[in-house]
């Protein structure tokens, strides 16, 4: 039995977040769609990849840095867009952009963040990325992108795997999707006094709890649920590759299409003019039963070759996962849940520590596989038997 005095891994922070957060919020981050098979596969498929130990090479200088869209990053990692992160930690997106800045990696702000692009821009030391969901009201999309541009964003992540929202049973059980009867409301309200640290720090001092990028569009919204209902009506299920042309006309920065999970769609994204794709199943929150991001990475890389920048996400929990993803064909990875668990548990300082841990895991794993540079990471580091 260990003392467990200091959290180190993503799982350690997850355990702390579970204790600190009201149940519905913890489940909202933690859960996936249906039976959560894909959510589990995202993590498990990383574990099945065996590395090959190499010795007697000069590994006195190991460099984890990489270039992405012309920018040098300390490691090939981006903090993924996560809706409602500001409900998990006080002004969560502001804390996250600061921690990402300290680690010299990009932070991507979700359309449905609590803090607005302007609030995040004020705290950011360098440009952050912005993520877009296509809404029926194209005027709103145009205005939002203009705000992101003014806030200094150069990289737009356009998420295409949420044409309809996946059925997340934990959210349904908790009344986050579909509402509650009076007893349910009473039981849910009890969660707040049961989690006083969160209640004081985020519930009271972390206000306003609104979708910062949408507050002017839903002026009558009184709660997050009102916003959520509006957004669910606004997602545009008729969106096709043709809409990329329209986006291209109004966005002159990099366009990164997120939510690609098969070679055919990857080719379509490149033909439509994407500067990059993110291989992703939305962290197992959309179509349960699909392949993991890491399983699809080499297949999509084989199809696209070097024609475009390839990012991937789903299940990245450590520096070792990052080197496995890069060796499988990704130029960089996005990480979702772990940054929110860490922030919920220990705030910005905790996230900074965790990102440092990830970098040192990368460095050690690269050294022990005999690699000194990110550009050298390829399938040779795998033990394929
Ligand atoms: C709680 C939660 C909220 C999310 N919100 C968004 C979002 O607003 N926009 C988006 O493009 N992806 C969103 N995602 C998906 C993440 O960007 C990312 O694809 C996924 O979390 C990666 O898997 P991982 O959590 O295993 O790292 C969300 C994921 C979670 C867990």
How much is the average pLDDT of 241-246? 94
Confirm or reject: Cβ of 283 under 6 Å from ligand 1: yes
Atom of ligand 1 nearest to the CA of 30: 31
pLDDT band with cut points at 50, 70 and 90 for residue 234: confident
Confirm or reject: Cβ of 113 under 6 Å from ligand 1: no
How much is the average pLDDT of 93-103? 98
Domain membership of residue 202 (yes or no) is: no
Is the per-residue pLDDT at 337 higher than 90?
yes
How much is the average pLDDT of 125-147? 95
Query: Which is nearest to 347 in space by CA: 88, 122, 108?
Result: 88
pTM: 0.97
* Domain count for the chain: 1
Domain membership of residue 175 (yes or no) is: no
Q: How far is the CA of 26 from the centre of ligand 1 (A)?
A: 14
Q: How far is the CA of 37 from the centre of ligand 1 (A)?
A: 16
Domain membership of residue 221 (yes or no) is: no
Question: Could you tell me the two tokens for 31?
Answer: 């859960």
Domain membership of residue 179 (yes or no) is: no
Q: How far apart are CA 28 and CA 204, in angstroms?
A: 20
Is the per-residue pLDDT at 228 higher than 80?
no
Confirm or reject: Cβ of 42 under 6 Å from ligand 1: yes
Which residue out of 9, 21, 28, 80 has the highest number of ligand 1 atoms within 8 Å of its CB and is therefore the one to mutate?
A: 80
pLDDT band with cut points at 50, 70 and 90 for residue 226: confident
Of the candidates 90, 91, 258, 282, the residue annotated as catalytic is: 282
Hey, whose CA ends up nearest to atom 15 of ligand 1? Answer: 282
Confirm or reject: Cβ of 81 under 6 Å from ligand 1: yes
Is the per-residue pLDDT at 342 higher than 70?
yes
Q: How far is the CA of 238 from the centre of ligand 1 (A)?
A: 22
The pLDDT, as a whole number, for residue 176 is 84
Q: How far apart are CA 267 and CA 379, in angstroms?
A: 23
Q: Which residue has the higher pLDDT, 17 or 186?
A: 17
Domain membership of residue 189 (yes or no) is: no
Domain membership of residue 224 (yes or no) is: no
| Whether residue 195 lies in the annotated active site | no
Q: How far apart are CA 245 and CA 319, in angstroms?
A: 36
The pLDDT, as a whole number, for residue 124 is 98
Q: How far is CA 343 from CA 128, 203, 346, in A?
A: 18, 15, 5
For the stretch 144-196, pLDDT in tens is 999 999 999 999 999 999 988 899 999 999 988 877 889 999 999 999 999 99
Q: Which residue has the tokens 């006195």?
A: 60
Is the per-residue pLDDT at 297 higher than 70?
yes
Q: How far apart are CA 343 and CA 92, in angstroms?
A: 7
| φ, ψ at 118 (rounded to 5°) | -70, -45
**What CATH number is given to the structural domain containing 155?**
3.20.20.70
Domain membership of residue 196 (yes or no) is: no
- The residue range of the domain holding 34 is 10-169+231-381
pLDDT band with cut points at 50, 70 and 90 for residue 227: confident
Domain membership of residue 355 (yes or no) is: yes
User: Can you say whether the dihedral through the CA atoms of 31, 33, 39, 40 is positive or negative?
Assistant: positive
How much is the average pLDDT of 257-265? 98
């Amino acid at each position: 039995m260990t003392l467990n005095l200091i959290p180190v891994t993503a799982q350690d922070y997850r355990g702390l977040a579970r204790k600190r957060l009201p149940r519905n919020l913890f489940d909202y981050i933690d859960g996936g769609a249906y039976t959560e098979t894909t959510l589990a596969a995202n993590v498990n498929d990383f574990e099945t990849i065996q590395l090959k130990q190499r010795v007697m090479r000069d590994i006195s200088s190991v460099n984890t840095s990489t270039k992405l869209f012309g920018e040098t990053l300390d490691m090939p990692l981006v903090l993924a867009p996560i809706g409602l992160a500001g409900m998990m930690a006080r002004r969560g997106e502001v804390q996250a952009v600061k921690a990402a800045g300290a680690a010299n990696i990009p932070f991507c702000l979700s359309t449905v963040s609590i803090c607005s692009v302007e609030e995040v821009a004020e705290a950011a030391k360098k440009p952050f990325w912005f993520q877009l969901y296509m809404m029926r009201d194209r005027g709103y999309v145009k205005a939002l992108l203009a705000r992101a541009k003014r806030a200094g964003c150069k990289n737009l992540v356009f998420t295409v795997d949420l044409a309809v929202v996946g059925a997340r049973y934990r959210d349904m059980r908790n009344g986050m999707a579909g509402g509650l009867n009076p007893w349910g409301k009473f039981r849910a309200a009890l969660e707040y006094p049961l989690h006083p640290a969160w209640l004081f720090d985020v519930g009271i001092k972390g206000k306003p709890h609104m979708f910062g990028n949408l507050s002017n569009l839903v002026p009558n919204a009184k709660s997050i649920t009102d916003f959520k209902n509006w957004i669910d009506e606004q997602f545009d299920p008729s969106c096709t590759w043709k809409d990329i042309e329209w986006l291209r006309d109004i966005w002159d920065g990099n366009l990164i299409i997120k939510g690609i999970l098969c070679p055919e769609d990857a080719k379509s994204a490149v033909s439509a003019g994407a500067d990059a794709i993110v291989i992703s199943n939305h962290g197992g929150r959309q179509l349960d039963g699909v392949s993991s991001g890491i399983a699809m990475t080499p297949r999509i890389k084989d199809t696209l070759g070097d024609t475009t920048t390839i990012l991937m996400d789903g299940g990245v929990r450590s520096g070792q996962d990052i080197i496995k993803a890069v060796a499988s064909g990704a130029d960089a990875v996005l990480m979702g849940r772990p940054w929110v668990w860490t922030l919920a548990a220990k705030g910005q300082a905790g996230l900074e520590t965790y990102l440092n841990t990830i970098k040192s895991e990368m460095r050690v794993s690269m050294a022990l596989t005999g690699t000194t540079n990110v550009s050298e990471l390829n399938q040779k580091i795998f033990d394929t038997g």
